[in-house]
C-alpha cells in the first residue's frame, strides 16, 4: 500500500510516523508489518565505480560523481598509486577524481596503477623479462595446488571440474615442489613437465575474465592480478604490455597463452573453467 506522502532524505529506509511526513505528490511510503517505511530508492540502485547514487528533487535515483572528499578516510593499506603517479588515499578517491575528469584526456588516462603509495619501480631488464613467465607460471601452478590442498580439507575452494584437473598435477610424482627455484631448474621443469603448466595458465585467465563473451582481458579485468603484484614484482607492467602483441588494449586468450609459453595447439577455450 502506498500513500501520498513525501519522505525526507533523512528518514529513508526508516520506519516513520505519518505526522512527520510532508504531503507531497509522490507516492513514496509503504507499509510493512504495520509500520510506515520510507524506502531508499538508492538501496538497490547500482552505480559504476567512481559514482554514487543520489536522489533528485522528484525522488528518482541517479548516479553522480563520487566527491573524493566524501570518501571514507581509509588507512594506509588503502592507498593506491594512479597512472598519473599520484598517491590516492583509497580507490574511492582515485575513481571519484577520475569521474570528475570525465570527458578530458587526463580523465581517460587515469587508472589505478597499483596498490600502495607510489614508489620508484625499478626498470625491468631484458633478462628479468625473459625469466618472468617461468616464475609466474610456477607461481600459478602452486596457487592451484594450495587451493587443492585446502579443498581436500574443506571443500568449496575448487569446482569439481577444477579439482579433477588439479588432482592430476598434484599427484604427479615428478611435480616440482613449491620453493624458490633457480631459473635453470624452472626451465628444465617446464621442458620436462610442460603439460602441468597448461591448465594453471588457462585457469588464471578464466579467473580474471569477467565478461566471458569476448575472451579478452581488459585493463580492469587484469587489475586484480596486476595491482597487488606491481609493488613486489617490478616486471609485471612490462610483461603484460609485452603480452599484448597487437597493442589493442586487450589481452586475448591466444596472447595470454603465448606469453606464458603455451604452444598454439594447447591454447584451448575448453580449458577455461
Ligand atoms: Ca591484444
How far, in Å, is the centroid of ligand 1 from the Cα of 192?
A: 29
From the number of C-beta atoms within 10 Å of its C-beta (0-12, 13-18, 19+), residue 73 rates as exposed
pLDDT number for residue 10: 66
C-alpha cell read off for 210: 569477467
Q: How far is the CA of 128 from the centre of ligand 1 (A)?
A: 22
CA of 60 to the centre of ligand 1 (A): 40
pLDDT at 43: 77
**Cross-strand pairs, 23:** 5
Give me the domains of the chain, ranges plus CATH numbers.
2-37 (no CATH), 51-115 (3.30.60.30), 126-271 (1.10.238.10)
**pLDDT attached to residue 157:** 93
Task: Transcribe 49-73 into DSSP letters.
Answer: TTEEEEE-TTS-EEEEE--GGGS--
Measure Cα distances from 89 to 56, 107, 115, 171 in Å: 29, 18, 11, 45
CA atoms within 13 A on the CB side of 95: 14
22 CA to centre of ligand 1 in angstroms: 57
pLDDT for position 213? 83
Spatial separation of the C-alpha atoms in residues 264 and 186, rounded to whole Å: 21
Q: Is 141 helix (H, G, I), strand (E, B) or coil?
A: helix
pLDDT for position 37: 72
For residue 216, give every residue at least 6 positions away whose Cβ sits within 8 Å of its Cβ, in sequence order, or none.
209, 250, 251, 252, 253
Distance 244 CA to ligand 1 centre (A): 4
Per-residue pLDDT of the chain (273 residues; tens, 9 = 90+): 345 556 666 666 667 666 666 655 444 566 666 677 777 778 778 999 999 998 877 778 899 999 999 999 888 899 999 999 999 999 999 999 999 999 999 999 999 999 999 999 999 999 999 999 999 999 999 999 999 999 999 988 999 999 999 999 999 877 888 888 888 889 899 999 999 999 999 999 999 999 888 899 999 899 999 999 999 999 999 999 999 999 898 999 999 999 999 999 999 999 999
* Ligand 1 centroid from CA 61, angstroms: 37
Contact 56, 37 (CB under 8 A): no
Q: How many CB atoms lie within 10 A of CB 9?
A: 11
CA 23 → CA 38, 44, 56, 84, distances in Å? 13, 25, 17, 50
pLDDT at 7: 66
Q: What's the pLDDT at 31?
A: 64
Q: Give the Cα separation of 190 and 199 in Å (integer).
A: 13
The pLDDT, as a whole number, for residue 95 is 97
Amino acid at each position: 500500500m502506498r500513500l501520498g506522502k513525501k519522505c525526507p532524505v533523512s528518514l529513508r529506509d526508516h520506519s516513520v510516523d505519518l505526522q512527520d511526513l510532508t504531503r507531497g505528490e509522490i507516492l513514496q511510503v509503504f507499509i510493512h508489518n504495520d509500520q510506515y517505511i520510507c524506502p531508499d530508492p538508492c538501496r538497490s540502485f547500482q552505480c559504476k565505480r567512481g559514482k554514487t547514487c543520489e536522489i533528485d528533487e522528484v525522488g528518482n535515483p541517479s548516479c553522480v560523481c563520487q566527491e573524493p572528499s566524501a570518501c571514507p578516510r581509509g588507512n594506509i593499506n588503502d592507498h593506491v598509486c594512479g597512472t598519473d603517479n599520484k598517491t590516492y588515499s583509497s580507490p574511492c578517491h582515485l575513481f571519484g577524481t577520475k569521474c570528475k575528469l570525465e570527458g578530458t584526456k587526463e580523465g581517460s588516462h587515469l587508472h589505478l596503477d597499483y596498490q600502495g603509495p607510489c614508489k620508484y619501480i625499478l626498470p625491468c631488464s631484458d633478462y628479468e623479462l625473459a625469466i618472468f613467465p617461468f616464475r609466474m607460471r610456477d607461481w600459478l601452478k602452486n596457487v592451484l595446488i594450495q587451493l587443492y590442498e585446502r579443498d581436500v580439507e574443506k571443500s568449496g575452494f575448487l569446482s569439481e571440474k577444477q579439482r579433477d584437473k588439479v588432482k592430476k598435477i598434484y599427484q604427479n610424482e615428478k611435480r616440482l615442489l613449491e620453493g624458490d627455484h633457480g631459473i635453470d631448474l624452472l626451465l628444465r621443469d617446464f621442458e620436462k613437465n610442460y603439460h602441468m603448466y597448461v591448465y594453471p595458465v588457462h585457469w588464471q585467465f578464466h579467473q580474471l575474465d569477467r565478461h566471458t563473451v569476448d575472451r579478452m582481458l581488459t585493463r580492469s579485468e587484469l587489475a586484480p592480478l596486476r595491482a597487488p603484484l606491481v609493488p613486489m614484482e617490478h616486471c609485471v607492467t612490462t610483461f603484460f604490455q609485452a603480452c599484448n602483441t597487437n597493442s589493442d588494449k586487450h589481452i586475448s586468450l591466444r596472447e595470454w597463452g603465448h606469453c606464458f609459453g603455451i604452444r598454439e595447439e594447447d591454447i584451448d577455450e575448453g580449458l577455461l573453467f
